[in-house]
Structure 1
């Protein structure tokens, strides 16, 4: 639907570095997903917005959006989404220099990625954990 298309456009703009246009598309998609009761879409758009705010260095706003996404993904039982949200929260904490919280979130994400069987995400999360340890030496 329209929300999905807006989310895809937001992704393209974010990849190009146009965070303002990405944010606008994600927000419009979120409104549609809220109006139609699409919880999965809401969680996805909140996570996307969180990533936009990370790109801007607004870690508090990013954390808030990723937490909202996680709450929705937990509510609907979306384990892959939960793992992604936890990984995003881990990255927010890593960017803040809070290595313990980052590691805690990455480990929870890793367990869920292993549970749902996404090998690429398992490997990516293991690499993030290794990078944390290197940064912490």
Structure 2
């Protein structure tokens, strides 16, 4: 029952029904806590954190993530720890605690780089790029964006998230020559033509539903 409640929460969350997702997760949690199922509890705490975060309740989200992290660290669940470190970084960044946010992102990267988990690495590189850009460190932001995009041969790639758009934005601000140098320094290879074409292209206009 707990597992099915949890998965129903996942489905509701993916369909944008956040209130329903939260209800399912809480039903699951009632059982896992009663049974002392710590891995199940950790997973549901994390998902409740994501729901709270998406609903703008950042303090509550942070509480859920920390409860999840306590169990994951105790169990030595390194992939789970990396994911929760990443989300704690996002929450800290949104709450204006930028130095703390960077610490969380780097803790996540220590694990994901060691495990070779490129999808989570890409997401964290992208967040570090946005973090650096928010601090007006465009040179460092460009390096993180390059690290993110260079993880995958396909451009655009779904896992690069906001990193590719940031790479385009920074290139149009700093110039293609700066990107070429940064790419060569980070990867040891010339800037791929597909990346060049993407960052120099005008972004698609937003779809407002008009014909």
| TM-score of Structure 1 vs Structure 2, range by shorter chain | over 0.9
Query: Paired residue for 1:56?
Result: 55
Alpha-carbon deviation of 1:35?
2.0
1:8 maps onto 2:21 in alignment: no
Query: Paired residue for 1:101?
Result: 100
Trace 1:1-137 onto structure 2 (pairs within 5 A).
2-137=1-136
Q: Deviations over 1:20-53 (max 9, x none)?
A: 1111111111122112222111111000001111
Alpha-carbon deviation of 1:88?
0.8
Q: Which moved more, 1:72-81 or 1:27-36?
A: 27-36
Runs of 4+, deviation exceeding 3 Å: none
Matches of 1:115 and 1:38, distance apart in 2:
28
Q: Which moved more, 1:46-55 or 1:27-36?
A: 27-36
Structure of higher CA gyration radius: 2
Matches of 1:38 and 1:84, distance apart in 2:
20
Q: What stretches of structure 2 of length at least 5 have no aligned partner?
A: 137-211
Q: What stretches of structure 1 of length at least 5 have no aligned partner?
A: none
TM-score, with structure 2 as normaliser: 0.62
Matches of 1:27 and 1:86, distance apart in 2:
22
Local SS of the residue matching 1:57: coil
Q: Deviations over 1:77-126 (max 9, x none)?
A: 10111111111100101111221111110100111112233121112111
Alpha-carbon deviation of 1:59?
0.8
Alpha-carbon deviation of 1:4?
2.0
TM-score, with structure 1 as normaliser: 0.93
Cα RMSD (Å) of the superposition?
Answer: 1.1
Matches of 1:97 and 1:20, distance apart in 2:
26
